[in-house]
Amino acid sequence: SSLCADHPLAGTALHMLGMLLFLAEEHSRAYVVLTEAVRVRKAAHGRHDVKVANSLMKLALLQYTGGDIAGSGRTLTEMRSSCLKTMGFGHPHLPLIMHTIGVLRFEQGDVSAAIRAFEIGYEYQRKIVEDECDGDEVHHKVAQVAMGYTMSNLAFMYFQNADQVGSLRLFEEAKSILARHSPPEDRVMLLIEENIGTLVGRGVPSYE
């Protein structure tokens, strides 16, 4: 009660309360509290602060869980803007944001928008792999695996959009990247192998 309404600690408290309500499956109350956490954190830290982005991510997850796909997409788009303002294209959250937006757009039936989101996410990840991982082998491995997963999702989107040649090329590139870090029995590796087999069986020329 001694804190002013937009004090930074008030934003933290609201964020944590919202997450507790979300875990308790009190989604309506969690939505109200997390929305207020975003407002308070914007007032206390500025709209592009990392704390605002963290609350936006939780709010987007809550919206998605509650079936508000469009609202979740709008929240993630705002979070993307915040990340770009704070750290530019090398922000580590950007690939996840675009990957999630791609999934949301696909669930809405907009394959073209999903493809664009995955393509942007892939470009963010490629930049991180090329520019941000020098000398850090663990970071480099994690970034490469994430990029391989996004490539496999993008390949699936191309397949859905009847671009079988582009789909096979990306599946094979994703396989090449993930084979360096993932065991053959990895679920994603198995799905990639299955899709490659399907496309080659249809007569799509292999790049391997």
Statement: residue 56 has pLDDT above 70: yes
Residues 6+ apart with CB under 8 A from 79: 53, 56, 57, 60, 93, 97
Place of tokens 């080659």: 200
What contacts 168, CB < 8 A, 6 or more positions away? Answer: 155, 196, 199, 200, 204, 205, 206, 207
- Residues 116-152 pLDDT 10s: 989 988 888 888 777 655 556 666 777 788 888 888 9
| pLDDT value at residue 169 | 93
Higher pLDDT pick, 166 / 80:
166
Note the pTM of the prediction, 2 decimals. Answer: 0.67
Q: pLDDT value at position 165? A: 93
Please give the mean pLDDT across all residues of the chain.
84
Give the DSSP H or E segment for 81.
helix 69-87
Q: What is d(CA 68, CA 208) in angstroms, rounded to the nearest whole number?
A: 42
**Mean pLDDT computed over 3-14:** 75
Per-residue pLDDT for 68 more than 90?
A: no
Q: What is the pLDDT of residues 85-98, one digit of tens each?
A: 776 666 677 887 88
Report the pLDDT value the prediction gives residue 2, as an integer from 0 to 100. Answer: 39
Residue type, 150: T
Of the CA atoms within 13 Å of residue 11, those in its CB half-sphere come to 21
Interval 179-200: pLDDT, tens: 888 887 888 899 999 999 999 9
What gap in Å lies between CA 170 and CA 164, rounded to an integer? 10
Question: Do 129 and 147 touch, CB atoms closer than 8 A?
Answer: yes
